[in-house]
Amino acid sequence: MRGPALLAAAVVTYVVAAWMVAPGFYDGFGPQQPYNWTCPPPQAGANLKPLSGHADIKVPGGVSDAGSAFANDGQIVVGFLPGAFDATGKATIAVDVTPLPTCPQPPGIRFVTNVYHVVASAPLVKRASVVLVYSNLEAAPTAIYQADDPAGPWKSIGAARDAMPFTITTTSASLGYFAGGYPQTTAASGALRIGGGSQVLPIVVAILIAIVLLAGLPLAMLRRRRGRAGVEADEDEAKATSKS
Amino acid sequence: MISVRNRAHPAVRAVLVGAYILCVEWARALIATQPRMAIASLVLGGAALGLVAVGWPADRLGLGTSRIGLRIIGGLALGAVLLLPAAARSGAVPILPAGLAAAAVAISVGEELAFRGALYAALDELGGAPLAIVGSTVLWTAAHSLSHPPEFLGAVAAAGLLLALWRWACRDLVAPVIGHVIADLAL
């Protein structure tokens, strides 16, 4: 019975160890860095405040250069094409990216990223690309939302499909306030709801341990019985060996 | 002399298998940081890891087909355990985009064939089950040290230990493969 006992201990060890860190550590699919929250969710561990950023876009020959402005923690990147701004009479265009210190949750929308304010010293005349990083602690956003004022109204400006893992990207015809989220009337796209919350956790853990043991016990017992009989591999496996 | 010579070959094989796996895992972690290389690094990494199992008899890898129903149930149970801590706290678990799903399957299968398949078998041959369990878990954790923040490595090690113990207790690799695929697909 040593095998099943060790397996049960390993299940408990794993659940405890995984419980102590943010979810999403499988094979590098999680974000490379923990998300810096303005308003961290309860399951977030130690949190750093999100950073702001600043960029100066040069205007050689009256046409603004290509460039990008980003928060210094990389959680938002706004990219500009050449001539993206009406640069009349300017030598440079200043772009500031600032995380909003509050966390508005407009009706009908669930924001799962910080809200960022992007402002430039010249009007935008070409669409800018917007890339937002999101956390694995929340369901994936389905769109980026934009508003001229944090109080709203917020409108969806869509999302491209080829974004990198844990990023969402789109283009915008205007600057202002940006956040990633999903319509609250429907479940988040690509989200698997596992209800109950932490109250049912001990019961679920106990059931899972029982399932693992019930599934593993017959295999372990058969192996033990065969080991005693001096048969190391079962017949099927022996056949596989002889074939290979 | 004879016993030393007999033991030298398994040791060399275990070292080579371990070094190869570690190089592949670290290389794919570095490549994945390049723009638009995430999927390619996972698919190619999974294929490169799977290569290390070529030439091993199926039974040595734990890939027998007997009692396949129990093995599949075991895999589902392992998958549920691996997902539980994330699912219970987040309430919603993001499922991978379609483009990453195939890559997730490739890397999951490749890692299991490499760590709990070939590496486990090589270490088992060298020093028995204790060395195979501990050695495959240590190397598994080291292999993820570039792709994961340090605070995640305890959980990564615990997952490796659980899968290695299953491999030992049930002499089975089918369930770890299924459990690993489920966990990677959901996260």
Residues A176, A70, single domain; the answer is yes
**Domain assignment present for A193:** no
Q: What global pTM score does this model have?
A: 0.60
**Domain assignment present for A95:** yes
Residue A74 near chain B (CB below 8 Å): no
ipTM, interface predicted TM-score of the complex: 0.87
For residue A84, the domain's CATH number is 2.60.220.30
Q: What is the DSSP letter of B116?
A: I
Share of chain A above pLDDT 90, in %: 20
What is the phi/psi pair of residue A168, to 5°?
Answer: -130, 140
pLDDT > 70? residue B161: yes
Contacts of B41 (CB under 8 A, 6+ apart): B28, B29, B31, B32
**Domain assignment present for A235:** no
To the nearest 10 degrees (0 to 180), the angle between helices B38-51 and B2-32 is 170
* Residue A25: domain span: 1-30+198-227
Listed in sequence order, the DSSP H helices in chain B are: 2-32, 38-51, 58-61, 68-90, 98-112, 120-143, 153-170, 174-186
**Domain assignment present for A129:** yes
Per residue in A169-219, pLDDT tens?
Answer: 888 999 999 999 888 754 444 333 333 334 455 566 667 677 777 777 777
Residues A8, A59, single domain; the answer is no
More confident residue, A225 or B124: B124
* Res A190: pLDDT: 39
To the nearest 10 degrees (0 to 180), the angle between helices B174-186 and B68-90 is 30
More confident residue, B118 or A40: B118
To the nearest 10 degrees (0 to 180), the angle between helices B153-170 and A201-228 is 40
Q: How many structural domains are present in chain A?
A: 2
- Domain positions in chain B are 2-186
Cβ-based contacts of B178 with chain A (< 8 Å): none
Contact B170 A195 (CB under 8 A): no
Cβ-based contacts of A238 with chain B (< 8 Å): 59
* Res A227: pLDDT: 62
Residue B146 C-alpha from the chain's centroid:
16
Average pLDDT value for chain A: 77
Find the mean pLDDT for residues A236-242.
44
Average pLDDT value for chain B: 84
Residues A68, A178, single domain; the answer is yes
Of B59, B156, B159, the CB nearest to A238: B59
* Res A234: pLDDT: 46
